[in-house]
């Protein structure tokens, strides 16, 4: 496959992001309100989306571009002991909802990343977060899968190609970090 072909598909995905402008700006406002109220953002996903969840939580806590105080965020994909123990003793399908039960509180925001929108553990995590009183958002591909009707909001990219979906999730996540840097003036 020619490199140009991949770039064309990537470019098409990026062009589709323009349609999400109002939606991601509303998400930004929710995140700011959540953080201002002393709550946190909880990220989780599978495979590449697990890595993206970790990446975004790190950008919130450490910094993106500007020096600022850390923003309260966490990724439920980082503790291999919890994940493997829970997967062994219970089920891989409930690794996130169990952690949310232990760590989330009403007013937090739970963001589940699933390129298909049909990952059982992400869906279960979203359901548990809603039961606790968290506002939920799913980052998915074009169809949104089952998460489209499950999460309180669903950021759907214009493609179903897993690599392009994950690239788009990071673009949206990086924009959120950049916008938070510009809007939050808490400095060290």
For residue 188, is it within any domain? Answer: no
Is 32 a member of any domain? no
Mean pLDDT of the chain: 95
pTM of the model: 0.95
Asked whether the beta carbons of 41 and 173 are under 8 A apart, the reply is no
CB neighbourhood size of 186 (10 A): 10
pLDDT of 68 reads 86
pLDDT of residue 13: 92
Among 102, 124, 100, 101, residue whose Cα is nearest residue 114: 124
Residue 156 belongs to some domain of the structure: yes
Helix and strand numbers, DSSP H then E, in the chain: 8, 5
pLDDT band of 42, cuts 50, 70, 90: very high
Mean pLDDT of 76-98: 95
Domain membership flag for residue 12:
no
**What is residue 64's predicted lDDT score, i.e. its pLDDT?**
86
Domain range for 168 is 37-183
What's the CATH code of the domain at 161? 3.40.50.10490
Flag whether 13 is in a domain. no
Q: Is the pLDDT of residue 187 over 70?
A: no
What's the total number of domains in the chain? Answer: 1
pLDDT at 188 over 60: no
Residue 53 lies in a domain: yes
Which pLDDT score, from 0 to 100, does residue 185 have?
A: 62
At residue 59, the pLDDT reads 95
Q: How far apart are CA 39 and CA 94, in angstroms?
A: 23
Do residues 27 and 105 lie in contact, with contact meaning Cβ atoms separated by under 8 Å? no
What's residue 65's pLDDT?
86
Q: Is residue 84 part of a domain?
A: yes
Buried b (16+ CB within 10 A) or exposed e, 79-103: eeeebeebeeeeeeebbbbbbbeee
Query: Is there a domain that residue 27 lies in?
Result: no
Q: Work out the burial of residue 188: count CB atoms within 10 Å of its CB; fewer than 13 is exposed, 13-18 middle, 19 or more buried.
A: exposed
- 121/131 Cα distance (integer angstroms): 15
Instruction: Spell out the residues 6+ positions from residue 5 whose beta carbon is closer than 8 angstroms to its own.
Output: none
Which tens digits make up the pLDDT trace of 130-160? 999 999 999 999 999 999 999 999 999 999 9
């Amino acid at each position: 496959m020619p490199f140009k072909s991949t770039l064309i598909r990537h470019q098409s995905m990026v062009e589709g992001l323009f349609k999400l402008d109002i939606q991601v700006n509303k998400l930004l406002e929710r995140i700011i309100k959540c953080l201002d109220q002393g709550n946190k953002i909880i990220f989780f996903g599978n495979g590449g989306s697990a890595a993206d969840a970790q990446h975004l939580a790190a950008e919130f806590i450490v910094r993106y571009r500007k020096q600022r105080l850390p923003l309260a965020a966490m990724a439920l994909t980082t503790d291999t002991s919890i994940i493997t123990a829970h997967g062994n003793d219970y089920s891989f399908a409930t690794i996130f909802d169990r952690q949310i039960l232990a760590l989330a509180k009403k007013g937090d925001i739970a963001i589940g990343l699933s390129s298909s929108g049909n990952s059982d553990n992400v869906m279960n995590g979203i359901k548990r977060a809603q039961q606790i009183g968290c506002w939920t958002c799913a980052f998915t591909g074009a169809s949104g899968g089952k998460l489209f009707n499950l999460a309180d909001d669903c950021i759907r990219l214009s493609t179903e190609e897993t690599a392009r979906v994950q690239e788009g999730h990071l673009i949206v996540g990086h924009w959120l970090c950049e916008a938070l840097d510009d809007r939050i003036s808490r400095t060290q």
